Structure 1
Amino acid sequence: MSTTPSTTPSPSPEPGGTDGGSPRPAHQARLIQNEVTTEIPVHLLFRDEPNPSPVPLRPAVVGRRQGTGEQPRFRPASARTRPVPEADPELCERPARVLPGAVGVFAGAAGAAGAVAASWWAGTLPPFAGEALGLPASTAAGLGPAQWAAYAGAAALGLFGLGGLARGRTGRAWVLGLFGRYRGTVRRTGLMWVNPLLRRRQVDVRLRHWRSEPMPAADGSGVALRVVVLVVWRVRDTARALLGVEDHETYLRECVEAALARVPVEMPGGAHGPAPVGVAAETLTRLVTADAAPVGLEVFSVQPVRIEYAPEVAAAMHRRRIAALDAQQRATVLTSVVDSVEDTVTRLTMRGLVELDDYERKALVKDLTVAFCAGRNESGS
């Protein structure tokens, strides 16, 4: 409740408080504004300047007064939830530099040829291998530093060429890194050559679906449920999915579980009809999409495929249903017995077979009711 701003009455000039025969002008000051008061410095109450300079006043919150019944006022906290932050603003998928696979094959062949040439130069090539390759007999004697250097260069070239060969497949991508730094993503298919010093991690970028295990949820009334959802998703940004989070699949599962905790799910065919199930699916899809987007995951749909009550709730509802069926059966049996007794008594009296007073009628009705109930219990109907 807000109060009307009020002002203090202008003070009247005190006798003897004139300066040059003229009274000092009165200055009005706001003391109360809405629900806060202002802290007035003490020295302002005793200033003699006719036009004092304005002094900023600090607001002070009025607390609850003892004995007045006034309750403290609280400002409601904002109900908005903070969005999920980006994994890394600078981490974004970019293509890596790779070469055709023919380059690696050529480098490996060159390394093998260099090793053969170094063996012929050092004189360690077997004679039959030299004859098969059409090489003349070598006149060199033994291995020297030059021959060992040639061997090392040929081996390095062959290993560097053949070790960088990689095969790209459709629906798979390679995330490359060097000493912990992201160097790019390869989405090409076929044979290619990648720097063998780079670390290669394969990511599945196909459209995938995940059927969850029963997860806890609740309906609009707070009844505990178990929901199985089908999530259709794929990896959109391989760098963020693989490097921005420890395990993107586990992260997606936890996002789905968190969304189920916030969205009420109704049983299909219940009192609200099938419409709330579709509304819950749309809400779940929107929430999971917003939570998974910062880590490079693209979610297309989150659909509840099976909804059932929690085990403890299902047992209580089973007992309640059995009790309702039992009560309904008892009511049906009692109605049938009453109708049978009424029909019997009516026929006896209408046909004049017996003449009954009130006491005899009550006794007959009691006996017939007991007999009919016993007969139905024995027959199991």
Structure 2
Amino acid sequence: MHTTTSPTPESEGPSRPARLIQNEATTEIPVHLLFRDEPEPWPVPLGPAVVAGRAGTGEQPRLRRPMTAKPRPGPQPDPELAERPARVLPGAVGVLAGVCGVTGCVAASWWAGVLPPLAVAALRLPGIARAGLGPAQWAAYAGAGTLALFGFGGLARGRTGRAWVLGLFGRYRGTVRRTGLLWVNPLLLRRRVDVRLRHWRSEPLFAADGSGVALRVVALVVWRVRDTARATLGVEDHETYLRECVEAALARIPVETPGAGRGSVEAAGEALTRLVAREAGVVGIEVFSVQPVRVEYAPEVAAAMHRRRIAALDAQHRATVLTSVVDSVEDTVTRLTMRGLVELDDYERKALVKDLTVAFCAGREQSP
């Protein structure tokens, strides 16, 4: 049995081996694997972008993500620290307790027989045998003395515009805003706070105008303590904190240079008031007004800015004088020609304008 093999067509030609890339450090990699199609990755969501490119460079447009500045979070007040009224008693209760304590001490001395005879006669007490200082007498002394100390030691006088912040072992126990004679627990720590409307005139503070020129500003701040607990316990010193808030606001808000209009100064004062009131409100301080009362250039730039201002005023004066002279010459020439007093050609008109201009300028310079 003969097996015949079909001859290979001449058009196909002999089979060639697959092309490979091979070197000393790599293994054999078929060429067709280098150019095969990779599966597309999952789509990645992109935010809005801005197409931008540099003109005249031939550079292709690039995708640039818009940058949005996040607002800076401001200080937040402590929600657990807020002013609340403290429990106090009328002053008559303390006086009564103190008098009872003193009476108990006198009675214990009379009972022990250590009260002087003169005092016994003055108080009209009956005579009694000397019992001596025993445990009962010492206990009576201790109770009566403690009552007297608590009664008289807790007496306090409340004043209008003043308040007490009370604390016990580091814990806030309330605020006393009542006036008159009061009785407050003598074990509580008292901190006096001024809650009246106050004003503070600052020393010259550093500031700058819209162009970055250094200034010295004296500000007048009208404020008062609204929350005594936050002003006393929320910050180490609320007056120092307010001063630093004013300095920070002057560094952030431009103040108009000396000689600016009244409206610009008022606008700067309103902006300063809003900013300082927001920053100081977290510590219980209510700010009503922050107004720059004196604005002057810093010493290092004062001389240069003074010369600049003088030059600007001189240039403005010259421009005003020139405008006035030109208007006067124009009015004079127009009247002469319209009334028919003179007939001038171009050359004569130019000469007349020149002579009038020189005359008017000389007259302006000689006049005070």
TM-score > 0.5, shorter chain as reference = yes
- Give the match for residue 207 of structure 2: 217
Q: SS of the residue aligned with 2:83?
A: coil
What is the one-letter code of the residue matched to 2:288? Answer: F
Q: Secondary structure at the match of 2:120?
A: helix
**TM-superposition CA deviations, 1:95-126 (whole Å, max 9, x none):** 10100111111111111100000001111111
2:163 is matched with: 173
Which residue does 1:83 correspond to in 2?
Answer: 74
Map of 2:296 onto structure 1:
308
Task: Give how far 1:289 is off.
Answer: 0.8
Return the match for 1:145 from 135, 140, 147: 135
Q: Distance in 2 between matches of 1:313 and 1:149?
A: 79
Partner SS state of residue 221, structure 2: strand
Structure 1 residue 206: Cα displacement? 0.2
User: Given the two structures, how large is their TM-score scaled by the length of structure 1?
Assistant: 0.66
**TM-score when scaled to structure 2?**
0.68
Following superposition, the deviation at residue 141 of structure 1 comes to 2.7
Deviation larger for 220-229 or 313-322: 313-322
Kept after mapping to 2: 8 A contact 1:267/1:277: no
Q: Any gaps of 5 or more consecutive residues in structure 1?
A: 1-43, 47-54, 329-381
Q: 2:253 corresponds to which residue? A: 263
**Which residue of structure 1 lines up, in the alignment, with residue 126 of structure 2?**
136
Give the C-alpha shift of residue 263 in structure 1: 1.1
Shift of 1:317: 2.6
Task: Please tell me the residue identity of whatever aligns with 1:222.
Answer: G
Task: Give the direction of change, closer, same or farther, for the CA distance of 1:239–1:132 in structure 2 (3 Å limit).
Answer: same
Q: Deviations over 1:68-107 (max 9, x none)?
A: 7666735424152322211x11111111010011111111
* Residue matched to 1:200: 190
Equivalent residue for 1:287, pick from 269, 272, 275: 275
Contiguous gaps of at least 5 residues in structure 2:
1-37, 50-57, 317-368
Matched residue SS, 2:199: strand
* Alpha-carbon distance between aligned partners in 1 of 2:66 and 2:314, rounded to the nearest angstrom: 54
The answer to whether the 8 Å contact 2:207/2:251 transfers is yes
* Cα RMSD after superposing both structures: 3.0
Q: Deviations for 1:303-326, whole angstroms, at most 9, x for unmatched residues?
A: 110000000110223455688999
SS in 1 for 2:79: coil
| Pairing of 1:1-381 with structure 2 (within 5 A) | 45=39, 58=44, 73-78=64-69, 80-86=71-77, 88-270=78-260, 273-318=261-306, 320=308
Q: How many residues align?
A: 273
- Decide whether aligned partners of structure 1 residues 327 and 103 sit closer, same or farther in structure 2, where only a CA change above 3 A counts: closer
Residue 264 (structure 1) shift: 1.1
**Structure 1 residues 208 and 192: alpha-carbon distance in aligned structure 2, compared to 1, 3 A threshold:** same
Aligned equivalents of 1:325, 1:159: Cα separation in 2: 76
Distance 1:322 1:230, change over 3 A: closer
Q: What is the rounded CA distance, in whole Å, between the counterparts of 2:265 and 2:315 in structure 1?
A: 32
Q: CA deviation at 1:140?
A: 3.3
In structure 2, how many angstroms separate the alpha carbons of the residues matched to 1:45 and 1:327? 74
